[in-house]
Amino acid sequence: MPILFSFYLSWVLFCSLASPNSVNLPLKAPSLGNWLVTEGWMEPNMFYGIKNNDLLDGTQGQLISTKLKKYLTAENGSETILMANHNSSSASSWQTFRLWRINETFYNFRLSNKQFIGLENQGNKLVAVSATEKFPEPFQITRKNGEPHRVRFRASNGYFLQAKSEMQVTADYKGPSTWEENDPSVFNMTIVSTMHGEYQITNGYGPDKAAKFMRDHWKSYITEEDFKFMSQNGLNAVRIPVGWWIAYDPKPPKPFVGGSLQALDNAFRWAQKYGMKVIVDLHALRVSQNGSPHSGSRDGFQEWSDSDIQETVAIIDFLASRYADHPSLVAIELMNEPKAPDLKLDSLKRYYKAGYDTVRKYSSSAYVILSNRLGGEWSELLSFASNLSRVVIDVHFYNLFWDNFNKMSVQQNIDYIYRQRSSDLRNVTTPDGPLSFVGEWCCEWEAEGASKRDYQRFAEAQLDVYGRATFGWAYWAYKCHLNHWSLRWMIENNYIKL
Ligand SMILES: *[C@@H]1O[C@H](CO)[C@@H](O)[C@H](O)[C@H]1NC(C)=O
Ligand SMILES: *[C@@H]1O[C@H](CO)[C@@H](O)[C@H](O)[C@H]1NC(C)=O
Ligand SMILES: *[C@@H]1O[C@H](CO)[C@@H](O)[C@H](O)[C@H]1NC(C)=O
Ligand SMILES: *[C@@H]1O[C@H](CO)[C@@H](O)[C@H](O)[C@H]1NC(C)=O
Ligand SMILES: *[C@@H]1O[C@H](CO)[C@@H](O)[C@H](O)[C@H]1NC(C)=O
Ligand SMILES: *[C@@H]1O[C@H](CO)[C@@H](O)[C@H](O)[C@H]1NC(C)=O
């Protein structure tokens, strides 16, 4: 009897460990990007309800004094008085400021050296300060009616910023303004770039509205019906990007809001019901591994480093312990798109090893996905990964984001897939090493005047080549309002046949 009992127990154990083994590789997976980690640029209407929605976190702007016709600059960074002495808008990064939004009218300004604008001790001179030494100065913005790029800023001492002379920018202008050009407290603001990710959405709506906004999004954007659609259309897995704050659900650090964990639980339940596998992809890391809005970045700086390894491993521990025994878990991706050269290969390997060991504490069968560095060498993780078991190298292929694609014709794009991409993929596909995974691709491109048939041929070429990846591929993304970015739209409109 005891023997039978122990046999029975280990049989159950064996089954639950073994079930992810039964996965049929290669995987055909859409990515549920824009559901759990929101990339607002896919859904601009998500931002319509935010006041001053052109002044979100990470917006980069330049300020010209309307009186002096000179740009504000923090020329030499640290300890230098802010000046209004630059002629040209393109000149230097020192005259571009990044906003940190406090609320719809109050902002901090971050400089290109990562310092902030502050006020000299008790005085009214503007200086560059480090956030660790001193609290950055909150400036209240006032915009001219009907001309929102005409702005004034009030400092915490109650006075407005003014450009008295090229060498003297101070916070000591008293009183209102008639918005005349020669008023030294009036500036013209040019927005150079903006960011639209989950940080911007949640901080943009603010604590009162963000929670409801995100809850409504999670409830309506991806539903059980989507899993049914995917499983009926030849897709056998789904890649789900998650943000680091999911580990702190239901009360994540601000501005993020609780609820993403519940959404991920729902996805696992639906995946199981429709016989699909789940790849959990840690897509957004605290202080950002690549500076992109989809990494949860506040201002575009990429600051993830060795000192963040411990917390990031704890997040992997949270995810692995929660889902290791779920029959639908097939893989955990330790970090999406780390970016070279700022993210050092040594740091990445240290983290990957620790993250791998953490997943293995809970599962011997789940695959561990290692994303290649953007801008790194194709083969840079191969020998490291060959020491580990059931690991996968993830590479992302877009005929976008690189000037050379702008000039390519339809045929050149398709040739590029067959020639260059298949060679790139071969470079990470080894007989005994890790498996290969094209973890992101899409059918959007720069080719002008492409017909429906051209899109179909582009899709066929990519399915043909990326189908050779030994682990599989994932399309970015399952659903977005931009047609060719949406796998569901492509399938429903007969652009893609799986
Ligand atoms: C900034 O640095 C340049 C070059 O080192 C120097 O010529 C200039 O005087 C500095 N400006 C200020 C305000 O310190
Ligand atoms: C800005 O323009 C003025 C007048 O055209 C010129 O004298 C000055 O040298 C210029 N300054 C810089 C930094 O280019
Ligand atoms: C916005 O933030 C500023 C600075 O922290 C604060 O003084 C002000 O009350 C806030 N306004 C609103 C509407 O929350
Ligand atoms: C002020 O900014 C607006 C918007 O960026 C721009 O179109 C305009 O040319 C600027 N005017 C001046 C005088 O810099
Ligand atoms: C593989 O593991 C062995 C034993 O732990 C170690 O000595 C070796 O340096 C590792 N190789 C790589 C490429 O990481
Ligand atoms: C890719 O692999 C080929 C051999 O298959 C090699 O000649 C080439 O140098 C590799 N390229 C890169 C970028 O690793």
Rg (alpha carbons) of the chain, rounded to whole number = 25
Q: Are residues 369 and 433 in the same domain?
A: yes
Please give the full DSSP string across 244-295, using - where no structure is assigned.
GGGGGTTSPSTT--S-HHHHHHHHHHHHHHTT-EEEEEEEE-TT-SS--GGG
CA atoms 408, 412, 415, 420: torsion sign: negative
Helix (H, G, I), strand (E, B) or coil at 164: strand
Which CATH number characterizes residue 112's domain?
Answer: 2.80.10.50
Low-confidence spans in the chain with pLDDT less than 70: 1-22, 40-42, 76-82, 84-85, 87-92, 133-134
Which CATH number characterizes residue 488's domain?
Answer: 3.20.20.80
The structural domain count of the chain equals 2
Asked if residue 61 lies in contact with residue 189, where contact means CB atoms within 8 angstroms, the answer is yes
Half-sphere exposure of 37 (CA within 13 A, CB side): 25
Q: Are residues 200 and 105 in the same domain?
A: no
Q: Are residues 84 and 149 in the same domain?
A: yes
Atom of ligand 6 nearest to the CA of 379: 14
Q: How many helices (H) and strands (E) does the chain have?
A: 11, 20
384 lines ligand 5 (CB under 6 A): yes
The number of the ligand nearest the C-alpha atom of 158 reads 3
Given this model, what pLDDT does residue 81 score? 61
State the Cα–Cα distance between residues 173 and 177, nearest whole angstrom. 10
Residue nearest to atom 14 of ligand 3 (CA): 103
Given this model, what pLDDT does residue 168 score? 84
193 lines ligand 4 (CB under 6 A): no
Q: Which residues, in sequence order, are CB contacts of 59 under 8 Å at separation 6+?
A: 98, 99, 191, 193, 194, 195
Half-sphere exposure of 276 (CA within 13 A, CB side): 29
Given this model, what pLDDT does residue 15 score? 37
Residue nearest to atom 8 of ligand 6 (CA): 427
Distances from the Cα of 300 to the Cα of 89, 98, 128, angstroms: 20, 9, 19
389 lines ligand 5 (CB under 6 A): no
The DSSP secondary-structure symbol of 138 reads P
Residue that is last in its domain, among 128, 162, 193: 193
Given this model, what pLDDT does residue 13 score? 37
Given this model, what pLDDT does residue 38 score? 84
Helix then strand then coil, % of the chain, to nearest 5: 35, 25, 40
The number of the ligand nearest the C-alpha atom of 357 reads 5
Q: Are residues 39 and 66 in the same domain?
A: no
Given this model, what pLDDT does residue 10 score? 37
Question: For residue 154, what are the domain limits?
Answer: 60-193
Q: Are residues 325 and 436 in the same domain?
A: yes
379 lines ligand 6 (CB under 6 A): yes
User: Does some domain include residue 83?
Assistant: yes
The percent of residues above 90 in pLDDT, for the chain, comes to 77
Q: Are residues 274 and 377 in the same domain?
A: yes
The number of the ligand nearest the C-alpha atom of 94 reads 1
Given this model, what pLDDT does residue 87 score? 67
Given this model, what pLDDT does residue 219 score? 95
Q: Are residues 306 and 183 in the same domain?
A: no
Residue that is last in its domain, among 159, 174, 193: 193
Compute the distance from residue 409 Cα to the ligand 6 centre, in Å.
Answer: 26
Given this model, what pLDDT does residue 6 score? 36
User: Does some domain include residue 400?
Assistant: yes
Given this model, what pLDDT does residue 171 score? 93
- 75, 83, 92, 113: residue to mutate for ligand 1 pocket, most atoms within 8 A of CB: 75
Residue that is last in its domain, among 155, 175, 193: 193
Given this model, what pLDDT does residue 362 score? 98
Half-sphere exposure of 286 (CA within 13 A, CB side): 21
Indicate yes or no: pTM above 0.85: yes
427 lines ligand 6 (CB under 6 A): yes
The number of the ligand nearest the C-alpha atom of 138 reads 3
Q: Are residues 256 and 222 in the same domain?
A: yes
Asked if residue 466 lies in contact with residue 397, where contact means CB atoms within 8 angstroms, the answer is yes
Q: What is the pLDDT of residues 123-161, one digit of tens each?
A: 888 888 877 766 789 999 999 999 999 999 999 999 999
Given this model, what pLDDT does residue 52 score? 94
- 348, 387, 391, 393: residue to mutate for ligand 5 pocket, most atoms within 8 A of CB: 387
Residue nearest to atom 6 of ligand 3 (CA): 106
Q: Which of 404, 383, 390 is nearest to 359 (CA)?
A: 390
